[in-house]
């Protein structure tokens, strides 16, 4: 296979010459970012208090359909807090997928809990309801209204599916399973702002959903995260905990429990407000790019472009191709990166990392299959595709 043809097609897509570097996913600032930043600086409210924090939370809640959104300093902190709010305690077990970014597993560890890594579906790259159902049937039991692992004796308190690269998991099926086993469902929607399953936004099916606004995400605040709630009382609790659990008072410093300095600064939220004003354009632009990739790879039998799952509308945060095996994957990665086109493999499976090597897993057949074959392609908003910016 001649990979040079593919690289040339990618350069044509991004209207780039051979000397230009094409990043994997660069942020774009095409709206009111500078204006709002100047307003923020002029107000002197650049830290955790200011109008842009409230406005950003309202914009995200309205867009996703959540009843309330609570901002955090990053997505990992948001996921940590989501687990705590869901009742996860030290030595509990939390079901998640082995094919995920390290933040998912780290957040579980921050709560003192122990991850259980299960397989993904080939149709979604996300946690498999079938694998989850089989593992729970074989390894769990209900005692006093809670789910316990028969082998370890530990409580199985939560389940954290991740919408991989913005493609929604079969979230309704997972919710049904979690309800049956009295397990809290927390959605890691860090990569899926703008993704919908059956016309409902990811992150709004479970008890809590989590978004990320890192510099490489669909929209960015530089660094930042968001918690999505359908329970207003729980959302108020989250807001309280992110602000060091400080009891409101004009001058006294009274804190009624252990809290966290997880507040998003106003200056970051200012960028987020401007980015949200352009989210429809950003998502449509990324869909156009995905469709062009789809057309490109129809001419390469040895490579499959990963399409959005059935009943889903994906944000195509990072476009994915699946090669025939690890050897071809590595050849493609070496060739593309040496030719200034940034591509990346999927993450190393979590159970292969030293700190998670003793965690329970199932056979992970699909996860291993994906790990050996996935390549992410450049997926930035294509500013050269449309002159109406």
Residues 232, 286 within the same domain: no
* Pairing outcome for strands 146-149 and 140-143: antiparallel
Residue 387 lies in a domain: no
The DSSP bridge partners found for residue 185 are 159
Residue 328 lies in a domain: yes
Residues 16, 52 within the same domain: no
Instruction: Classify residue 30 as exposed, middle or buried by CB count within 10 Å of its CB (0-12, 13-18, 19+).
Output: middle
Domain count of the fold of the chain: 2
The token duo for 345 is 């493999």
Tell me how crowded residue 337 is: count the other CB atoms within 10 A of its CB: 12
* Pairing outcome for strands 344-345 and 374-377: antiparallel
Residues 184, 289 within the same domain: no
Residue ending a domain, among 227, 244, 276, is: 276
Domain residues for 238? Answer: 33-276
Instruction: Classify residue 66 as exposed, middle or buried by CB count within 10 Å of its CB (0-12, 13-18, 19+).
Output: buried
Residues 21, 41 within the same domain: no
Instruction: For residue 115, give the CATH number of its domain.
Output: 3.40.640.10
Query: Where is 322: in which H helix or E strand?
Result: strand 319-322
Of 209, 193, 352, which is closest to residue 278 (Cα–Cα)? 193
User: Whole-angstrom Cα distance, residue 386 to residue 34?
Assistant: 21
Residues 285, 271 within the same domain: no
User: How far from 51 is each of 16, 264, 277, CA to CA, in Å?
Assistant: 40, 12, 16
Residues 256, 289 within the same domain: no
Residues 170, 296 within the same domain: no
At 131, is the secondary structure helix, strand, or coil? helix
User: Whole-angstrom Cα distance, residue 37 to residue 45?
Assistant: 11
Residue 54 lies in a domain: yes
Res 389: pLDDT: 44
Residues 101, 229 within the same domain: yes
Residue 338 lies in a domain: yes
Residue 384 lies in a domain: no
User: How far from 83 is each of 95, 104, 146, 359, CA to CA, in Å?
Assistant: 12, 11, 16, 18
222 Rama class: left (phi>0) / alpha (psi -120 to 50) / beta: left
Per-residue pLDDT of the chain in tens (389 residues, 90 and over written 9): 589 999 999 999 999 998 999 999 999 999 999 999 999 999 999 998 899 999 999 999 999 999 999 999 999 999 999 999 999 999 999 999 999 999 999 999 999 999 999 999 999 999 999 999 999 999 999 999 999 999 999 999 999 999 999 999 999 999 999 999 999 999 999 999 999 999 999 999 999 999 999 999 999 999 999 999 999 999 999 999 999 999 999 999 999 999 999 999 999 999 999 999 999 999 999 999 999 999 999 989 899 999 999 999 999 999 999 999 999 999 999 999 999 999 999 999 999 999 999 999 999 999 999 999 999 999 999 877 654 44
Residue ending a domain, among 276, 309, 327, is: 276
Residue 212 lies in a domain: yes
User: How far from 368 is each of 309, 321, 373, CA to CA, in Å?
Assistant: 20, 15, 9
User: Whole-angstrom Cα distance, residue 230 to residue 208?
Assistant: 8
Residues 328, 184 within the same domain: no
Residues 232, 244 within the same domain: yes
* pTM score, whole prediction: 0.96
Instruction: For residue 354, give the CATH number of its domain.
Output: 3.90.1150.10
Residue ending a domain, among 245, 276, 307, is: 276
Residue 12 lies in a domain: yes
Contact 151, 139 (CB under 8 A): yes
Residues 335, 224 within the same domain: no
Res 386: pLDDT: 56
User: Whole-angstrom Cα distance, residue 279 to residue 348?
Assistant: 31
Of 182, 222, 225, which is closest to residue 203 (Cα–Cα)? 225
Rounded to 10°, the helix 75-85/102-110 angle is: 40
Residue 385 lies in a domain: no
Residues 138, 260 within the same domain: yes
């Amino acid at each position: 296979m001649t990979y040079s043809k593919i690289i040339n097609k990618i350069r044509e897509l991004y209207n780039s010459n051979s000397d230009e570097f094409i990043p994997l996913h660069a942020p774009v600032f095409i709206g009111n970012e500078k204006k709002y930043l100047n307003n923020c600086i002029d107000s002197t409210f650049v830290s955790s208090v200011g109008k842009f924090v409230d406005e950003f939370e309202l914009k995200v809640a309205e867009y996703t359909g959540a009843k309330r959104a609570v901002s955090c300093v990053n997505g990992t902190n948001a996921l940590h807090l989501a687990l705590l709010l869901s009742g996860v305690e030290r030595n509990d077990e939390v079901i998640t997928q082995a094919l995920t970014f390290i933040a998912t597993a780290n957040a579980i560890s921050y709560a003192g809990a122990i991850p259980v890594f299960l397989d993904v579906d080939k149709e979604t790259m996300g946690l498999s309801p079938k694998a989850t159902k089989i593992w729970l049937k074989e390894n769990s039991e209900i005692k006093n209204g809670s789910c316990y692992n028969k082998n370890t004796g530990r409580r199985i308190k939560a389940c954290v599916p991740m919408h991989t690269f913005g493609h929604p998991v079969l979230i309704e099926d997972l919710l049904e399973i979690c309800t049956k086993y009295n397990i809290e469902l927390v959605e890691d929607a860090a990569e899926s702002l703008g993704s919908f399953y059956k016309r409902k936004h990811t992150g709004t099916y479970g008890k809590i959903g989590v978004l990320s606004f890192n510099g490489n995400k669909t929209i960015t605040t530089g660094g930042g995260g968001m918690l999505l709630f359908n329970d207003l009382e729980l959302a108020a609790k989250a807001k309280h905990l992110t602000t060091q659990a400080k009891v409101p008072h004009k001058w006294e410093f009274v804190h009624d429990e252990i809290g966290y300095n997880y507040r998003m600064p106003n200056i970051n939220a200012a960028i987020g407000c401007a980015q949200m004003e352009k989210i429809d354009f950003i998502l449509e632009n990324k869909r156009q790019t995905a469709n062009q990739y789809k057309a490109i790879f129809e001419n390469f039998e040895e490579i499959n472009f990963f399409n959005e799952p059935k009943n889903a509308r994906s944000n195509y945060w990072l476009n994915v191709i699946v090669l025939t095996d690890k050897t071809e994957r590595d050849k493609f990665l070496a060739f593309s990166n040496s030719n200034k086109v940034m591509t990346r493999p999927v993450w190393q499976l979590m159970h292969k990392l030293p700190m998670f090597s003793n965690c329970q897993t199932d056979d992970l057949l699909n996860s291993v299959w994906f790990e050996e074959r996935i390549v992410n392609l450049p997926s930035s908003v294509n500013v050269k595709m449309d002159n109406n910016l």
